[in-house]
Chains A and B, each alone.
Chain A
């Protein structure tokens, strides 16, 4: 392992007093070796986390992450930065709670300031039926060791007074709150994992596109890349958004469609939104970044897309939702909008599993829940790669569950990816 200076307040002070000449790049830029034990395809949050946990928790020394462009340039840099573990079903909730616990210890673990901010996630309800459904969800969360709290309108008013409580069509009756939920600085997650993995000997190889898999007698022996063949004992793909395209090269068709999800940022404002607020009667959710911008989004555009940009009908729908919920934001100007490509799976839940090809492993189908899952996804994928058995919290995320009828469908909307 290569030693490098840790980050600390003392270090900042020392560097400040000595002209900031001691800082070094946070990770190396190595040439690819001819062979590794583990090759991770995709240098996004999940791929980097996988490499980090392979090295730090499972003691693997020979690991490479291959990234087509630059690390963190995909969905880990394009999301709305929310973390939470407010799922209902037993196949999901333990995994997301594991992830939230990893978030809570992430910065100390990585020695990297990811600005994890547990400012609370408020899911609003607007009817008696929705309140009961949220109570059930909250109870399921508590049973799995997560935190949940049901607020009535008066309690919610005390915490978030500016909401449009008395809307004629969808009055706000209260909220299900997860106070341990919140936001994280998304880019710092990619950089923190990259630095942590690099310090433990992982080769992070950028500008290295995987163009195919070398499969002999049903076994994957390595990957063809734009920088030559790289042999590997095991190959793990974590390329959500492009899963179908990449796995097609291994002869696989997936239970996944790619869809575009848009997000928006307003001009910077003084602190106004205390936590993460989601509208229960429309597609709108919002938080405020530490820079002051309102970060918000809504539903996917509903049609297959790889374009990383959406269309105006959803922009209009999101802004209408925002104006209905908190009319004050109508005075803020929107400065940026963008789209990210989601692996929308057939039941709305992810896949972390082996594939029919020996030595080839798949991580994907994250729908629009991939960011919050980053630590547990990496941990569980590393566990699977290292031990060939699923991690205890990820036993339900099987690739063959659709064939077996073991769907994990939180919303009960069936095999219709754009409805999850």
Chain B
């Protein structure tokens, strides 16, 4: 798979490691009353779709940026690549 890095252009997926579902960017509020429940969900449960999946890839052997890759898990086609920092900022976090 070739990942179109937003800053570096096309890079071989071998340069990256895959962490998993990009929902891991939405860390729950640890001080909320239901934190035990929301952290269980965050840590252990996954949608695991057959189809479009947003996931975190780390450019370990490159510029060490975190990317959000949108990929089809049924075909391995990569549909979009964003910097994780941009995704987080767009979501209203700093």
List the interface of chain A (C-beta within 8 A of B). Answer: 242, 244-245, 253-258, 302-307, 311, 313, 346, 402-403, 415-418
Q: Are A416 and B20 in contact (CB under 8 A)?
A: yes
Residues of A within 8 A of B44 (CB): 255, 346, 402-403, 415
Q: Are B73 and A418 in contact (CB under 8 A)?
A: no
Q: Are B73 and A254 in contact (CB under 8 A)?
A: no
List the interface of chain B (C-beta within 8 A of A). Answer: 1, 12-14, 17-21, 40-41, 43-50, 53, 55, 71, 73-76
Bound CA span A313–B18, Å: 14
Q: Are B13 and A313 in contact (CB under 8 A)?
A: yes
Beyond A253-B46, A418-B20, 19 extra complex contacts between A and B, CB < 8 Å: A244-B48, A245-B48, A253-B47, A254-B46, A255-B44, A257-B48, A258-B48, A258-B73, A302-B18, A304-B18, A304-B20, A304-B21, A304-B48, A304-B55, A304-B73, A305-B73, A311-B13, A402-B40, A403-B40
| Complex A-B: 24 CB contacts under 8 Å | A242-B50, A244-B47, A244-B49, A245-B48, A253-B41, A253-B46, A253-B47, A254-B46, A255-B45, A257-B21, A258-B48, A258-B73, A304-B18, A304-B55, A305-B76, A307-B73, A307-B76, A311-B13, A313-B12, A313-B14, A346-B43, A415-B43, A415-B44, A418-B20
Residues of A within 8 A of B18 (CB): 302-304, 418
- Residue from B19, B20, B41, B46 in contact with A244 in the complex, judged by beta carbons closer than 8 Å: B46
Chain A CB count within 10 A is highest, among B13, B19, B71, B76, for B76
Bound CA span A123–B20, Å: 30
Chain B CB count within 10 A is highest, among A245, A304, A403, for A304
- Residue from A302, A306, A415 in contact with B73 in the complex, judged by beta carbons closer than 8 Å: A306
Bound CA span A306–B50, Å: 6
Residues of A within 8 A of B45 (CB): 253-255
Residues of A within 8 A of B40 (CB): 402-403
Q: Are A417 and B20 in contact (CB under 8 A)?
A: yes
Bound CA span A257–B23, Å: 13
Nearest CB in chain B: distance from A328 CB, A = 27
Bound CA span A160–B40, Å: 47
Chain B CB count within 10 A is highest, among A242, A305, A311, for A305
Main secondary structure of the interface of B (DSSP, over half): mixed
Contacts A304-B55, A311-B13, A313-B13; A245 near B43 (Cβ below 8 A): no
Q: Are B74 and A257 in contact (CB under 8 A)?
A: no
Q: Are A257 and B50 in contact (CB under 8 A)?
A: no
Bound CA span A253–B49, Å: 10
Q: Are B71 and A245 in contact (CB under 8 A)?
A: no
Residues of A within 8 A of B50 (CB): 242, 245, 258, 306
Q: Are A304 and B53 in contact (CB under 8 A)?
A: yes
Nearest CB in chain A: distance from B47 CB, A = 7
Residues of B within 8 A of A304 (CB): 18, 20-21, 48, 53, 55, 73
Residues of A within 8 A of B21 (CB): 257, 304
Residues of B within 8 A of A307 (CB): 73-76
Nearest CB in chain A: distance from B32 CB, A = 17
Residues of B within 8 A of A242 (CB): 50
Bound CA span A305–B74, Å: 6
Minimal Cβ-Cβ distance residue in A for B45: A253
Residues of B within 8 A of A418 (CB): 18, 20
Minimal Cβ-Cβ distance residue in A for B47: A253
Bound CA span A135–B29, Å: 44
Bound CA span A304–B70, Å: 12
Bound CA span A311–B73, Å: 13
Bound CA span A402–B47, Å: 16
Chain A CB count within 10 A is highest, among B18, B44, B55, for B44
Residues of B within 8 A of A305 (CB): 73, 76
Residues of A within 8 A of B19 (CB): 416
Bound CA span A258–B55, Å: 13
Nearest CB in chain A: distance from B81 CB, A = 14
Nearest CB in chain A: distance from B79 CB, A = 14
Nearest CB in chain B: distance from A24 CB, A = 38
Bound CA span A418–B74, Å: 17
Bound CA span A256–B44, Å: 8
Bound CA span A303–B53, Å: 11
Bound CA span A260–B43, Å: 22
Chain A CB count within 10 A is highest, among B41, B49, B71, B73, for B73
